[in-house]
Structure 1
């Protein structure tokens, strides 16, 4: 087992198996997403033949890339539906399960909902990886769902060349009190509820085997309390920060809301070790693609490449990006009337 200067190391389960889960897939976590530009071109124009037939029911759909779909139902309530899964982001199977479940549940919290029931989504190379490891992954997901008060009722599995895990989650929300990506207004502060940097630390973990407990803690912290606090404060605009990085998700929010987002780079919090990981070259391809995607719409304000990569870092199970103030969360910028650039850094 590789020595870890932060006091961690590979778990006994994976060590006994003689493998590292992060070596079983080409990517890891939300960094393995299809690049945002490619994804937008794929889904462009994919709407129902007659949008008016469901206009009063589908409250949040495909238009702006919100985190989950929201459908109005009887009784003044709305159903929230989402799905999220990815390849291993850490070597510990139990932690991977916890991270993937936390990430999937986050989509419900990001629109202001509460998760009710989830089903597992599992892809597993059954001839090369022990099913005992798969059980640990599922156990991690179950424990997180229980902590969230969300039922887990079965799921679906396939024999897959690469291990993948996540959940499809259904929740409930008040259709009049949602967090939307298109509801940002000029003059509103921007809050961030988790520090950045898990992407570069996960990339370092994949390359070296070093374990970063601070990254695991962030990735397994539910966004439930932040979502509830935002709603209680009257916030109506938010998204979560995952595979497209802070800049990518903020670009989508500002674009959909018709405003410019100004970020105070010095106010953005980072995990310990994140900046050093970038300096040492542990930057994923997904992070670089994120930065390339937003560059045409970005005024970098003189910031160097290291800062830009950190702001574009592909997060897994990141925090909420909120157009409004959330108790305990740092304010990292402000929405202003639309300028020449959709994003401006200071």
Structure 2
């Protein structure tokens, strides 16, 4: 069992295997438009993290699903990372998870039951940490291993935080450092150090549970999680939802140390280039910016942090909440302003 490396079975791991945002937009545009019920508070129109359906004036259901191929070789770590990533979408809407369903696809002719069992154990351990059961699921025999969850949560309809809620003048904060995709590329190349791997697992298994608390801070207007489309891509979704321009300060972006060294040496995922091809026309970097800076802001983040738009008056309370939940306060990285829906990086 110890000799099996899960990443050898996947063409792209973690959120780096997502369909490129440009292609996804084309696919979604082909979906037939139907009559949407008034109680569907959040659907597909604002590129938010989960669907939200109102049950009554005080309760709404948050529903999401997320799964991917292995980003690490260790089966237990893979299960933990995939589960943490899936539940993040519930937290990003301001919700609290109440249960999960497992999504399991495994090449049964290549992986022994012990390995598959460890993946499921890893996912279940994260659900226990979140205080929810794995209440069911579905499994199939496939060519590449995939694992993830359907996450079901609840939220007060008045506390739902969507991309469209961001306001002009809002401060932008990021709750986790960037660089997970870069570290995963380093792992595949065999150049990631044990310390770098430990940092990667630490951040990808840190639940974004603070999102449920942030939704109760009146000055917090929008929350999204940063995953496969990279910081620039998910921030651009927020800009488009609110019809605002984002102005980022590159030097204030938090980055995992080893990821910074690797990307400066040219290490990056193919998904980074696909991301840029999809939305680069709406992202402005300084003309003299080095290539690695573009790779960093488009780096796919598996189980990345929360991107938060809030009033100046709420910044201290937001950072205190993040610090209390995960030990570090996150970083102020920029601001939203009137303008075209694009990301300007200085």
TM-score if structure 2 supplies the norm length? Answer: 0.91
- Greater displacement, 223-232 / 293-302: 223-232
* Deviations 1:19-60, CA, capped at 9 Å, x for gaps: 211111111000000000000110115355223xx0x20000
Matching of residue 195 in structure 1 with residue 195 in structure 2 = no
Aligned to 1:323: 309
Aligned-partner Cα distance in 2 for 1:189–1:23: 41
Aligned-partner Cα distance in 2 for 1:297–1:144: 36
Residue 234 to residue 149, structure 1, CA distance change in 2 (3 Å) = farther
Aligned to 1:8: none
Residue 45 to residue 182, structure 1, CA distance change in 2 (3 Å) = farther
Q: How does 1:256-335 map to 2 (within 5 A)?
A: 256-302=241-287, 303-324=289-310, 325=315, 326-327=318-319, 328-335=329-336
Give the C-alpha shift of residue 95 in structure 1: 0.6
Aligned-partner Cα distance in 1 for 2:236–2:345: 12
Aligned-partner Cα distance in 2 for 1:79–1:215: 31
Give the C-alpha shift of residue 278 in structure 1: 1.4
Aligned to 2:337: 336
Aligned to 1:143: 125
Q: How many residues align?
A: 327
Aligned-partner Cα distance in 1 for 2:247–2:129: 36
Structure 2 segments unaligned to the other structure (5+ residues): 320-328
CA contact (8 A) 1:90 1:202 kept: yes
Matching of residue 88 in structure 1 with residue 75 in structure 2 = no
Give the C-alpha shift of residue 252 in structure 1: 0.8
Give the C-alpha shift of residue 83 in structure 1: 0.3
Residue 169 to residue 40, structure 1, CA distance change in 2 (3 Å) = same
* Deviations 1:151-193, CA, capped at 9 Å, x for gaps: 1112110001000000001110011111101111110100000
CA contact (8 A) 1:81 1:168 kept: yes
CA contact (8 A) 1:67 1:239 kept: yes
TM-score if structure 1 supplies the norm length? Answer: 0.91
- Indicate which of 179, 187, 195 corresponds to 2:161: 179
CA contact (8 A) 1:47 1:62 kept: no
Q: How does 1:29-108 map to 2 (within 5 A)?
A: 29-44=14-29, 46=31, 48-51=33-36, 54=37, 56-74=38-56, 76-108=58-90
CA contact (8 A) 1:177 1:236 kept: no
Give the C-alpha shift of residue 245 in structure 1: 0.2
Give the C-alpha shift of residue 226 in structure 1: 4.3
Residue 209 to residue 345, structure 1, CA distance change in 2 (3 Å) = closer
RMSD of aligned Cα (Å): 1.4
- Indicate which of 79, 95, 98 corresponds to 1:113: 95
Structure 1 segments unaligned to the other structure (5+ residues): 1-12
- Is the helix fraction higher in 1 or 2? 2
Matching of residue 21 in structure 1 with residue 22 in structure 2 = no
Give the C-alpha shift of residue 230 in structure 1: 4.8
Aligned-partner Cα distance in 2 for 1:75–1:229: 20
* Deviations 1:224-263, CA, capped at 9 Å, x for gaps: 0244135335312111000000000001110111000000
CA contact (8 A) 1:118 1:169 kept: yes
CA contact (8 A) 2:92 2:211 kept: no
Aligned-partner Cα distance in 1 for 2:240–2:257: 31
Aligned-partner Cα distance in 1 for 2:331–2:117: 38
Runs of 4+ more than 3 Å apart = none
- Greater displacement, 188-197 / 270-279: 270-279
1:182 is paired with a residue of what secondary structure?
helix
Matching of residue 220 in structure 1 with residue 197 in structure 2 = no
Aligned-partner Cα distance in 1 for 2:270–2:58: 44
- Greater displacement, 187-196 / 38-47: 38-47
Aligned-partner Cα distance in 2 for 1:82–1:93: 23
Aligned-partner Cα distance in 1 for 2:85–2:73: 17
Aligned-partner Cα distance in 2 for 1:342–1:37: 15
